[in-house]
């Protein structure tokens, strides 16, 4: 496919409506300098210079979609706390539709705090609950999803294993997507890997693909191809896209030979959030009428751009169009 045709697909992203359903979290970054060791314990003393918050998990996927000039509708759960309010405000400020994000009094908002000294992460501490969300709230989220699915162009399941997506909700989401003929793409949690059946595409990285199938990782193209075909058959999926870092991507489609897509990154600074950008662009391309192979090519460019940035990053239409040139 010519670069012009790929560019035309990207231009169709504008105003497409994508539902992101899954676990959202607040990423808290504290950056500073270290010049001495604490007299209280053998640990560095970080003099704080900068502090900021970002949306993580499914929240970052939703932010990626709005960054591409499309519309993202988020269905998720936060705690009834200050961190939930901070997260919801950040999402609203980045034009994510948060009216279907419900509050749970019984659990905290998932929050990951990273202390970064110079350019080195010193420690990360997490505040979260991994228990399944309350059944009443789960039904409420599903009611929200059914309502917005009628007007959507695509759906992303962003599973971080924090209790938002249960066996029943995964099945029901996929059933509704297939009923409305919506492309449904999954960023998987390995524990739930075999539950994502009858989907449009699943985007595990190399490690997640092997672990999801409870197999010992092996090197080589033949081994990856065998793995991809096995996942395709097990999940009865239309396609599987395994992201492989410097080795690019491997795409598997029902009834077709595996396709290898070479990596496009010129320099790799940080892989944080690359998977979120890949699934966002992939789903938007499918929603814009692209074939899965062309959607994967565009998503590959997105991944190459994001790993060249520091921190949890997003990609714009302009950057994508420039990269494809």
Name the band, by pLDDT with cuts 50, 70 and 90, for residue 138: very high
DSSP 111-139: EEEEEEETTEEEEEEEE---SPPPHHHHH
Beta strands 239-243; 97-104: pairing state: unpaired
Unique residue bearing structure tokens 């034009």: 95
User: Token pair of 68, please?
Assistant: 């591409």
User: Token pair of 108, please?
Assistant: 């905290």
Cα dist from 228 to 188, 221, 247, whole Å:
15, 10, 15
User: Does the pLDDT at position 270 exceed 60?
Assistant: no
* Alpha-carbon Rg for the chain in angstroms: 20
CA distance 10 to 299: 10
CA distance 283 to 275: 12
Mean pLDDT confidence for 157-170: 93
Mean pLDDT confidence for 36-46: 93
Name the band, by pLDDT with cuts 50, 70 and 90, for residue 304: confident
Q: What residue ranges define each of the domains in the chain, with the CATH number in brackets?
A: 3-24+57-108+129-324 (3.40.1190.20)
Q: Exactly one of 23, 27, 104, 276 is catalytic; which is it?
A: 276
CA distance 89 to 218: 44
Position 1 scores a pLDDT of 46
* Catalytic site includes residue 159: no
User: Token pair of 12, please?
Assistant: 């169709």
Q: pTM here?
A: 0.92
């Amino acid at each position: 496919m010519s670069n012009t045709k790929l560019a035309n697909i990207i231009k169709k992203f504008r105003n497409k409506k994508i539902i992101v359903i899954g676990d959202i979290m607040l990423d808290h970054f504290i950056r500073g300098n270290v010049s001495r060791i604490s007299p209280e314990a053998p640990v560095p003393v970080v003099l704080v210079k900068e502090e900021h918050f970002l949306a993580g998990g499914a929240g970052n996927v939703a932010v990626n979609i709005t960054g591409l000039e499309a519309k993202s509708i988020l269905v998720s759960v936060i705690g009834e706390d200050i961190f939930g309010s901070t997260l919801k405000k950040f999402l609203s400020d980045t034009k994510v539709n948060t009216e279907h994000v419900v509050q749970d009094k019984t659990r905290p908002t998932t929050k990951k705090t990273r202390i970064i000294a110079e350019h080195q992460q010193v420690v990360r501490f997490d505040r979260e609950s991994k228990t399944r969300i309350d059944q009443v709230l789960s039904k409420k989220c599903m009611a929200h999803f059914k309502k917005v699915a009628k007007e959507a162009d695509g759906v992303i399941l962003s599973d971080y294993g924090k209790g938002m997506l249960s066996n029943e909700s995964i099945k029901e989401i996929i059933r509704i997507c297939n009923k409305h003929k919506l492309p449904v793409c999954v960023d998987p949690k390995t524990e739930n890997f075999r539950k994502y059946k009858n989907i449009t595409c699943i985007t595990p990285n190399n490690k997640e693909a092997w672990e999801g199938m409870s197999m010992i990782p092996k090197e080589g193209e033949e081994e990856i191809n065998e793995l991809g075909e096995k996942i395709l058959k097990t999940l009865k999926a239309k396609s599987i896209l395994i992201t492989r870092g410097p080795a690019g991507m491997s795409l598997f489609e029902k009834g077709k030979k595996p396709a290898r897509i070479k990596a496009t990154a010129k320099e790799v600074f940080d892989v944080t959030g690359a998977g979120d950008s890949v699934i966002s662009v992939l789903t938007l391309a499918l929603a814009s009428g692209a074939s899965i192979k062309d959607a994967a090519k565009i998503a590959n460019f997105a991944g190459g751009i994001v790993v060249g940035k520091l921190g949890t990053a997003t990609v714009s239409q302009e950057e994508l169009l420039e990269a494809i040139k």
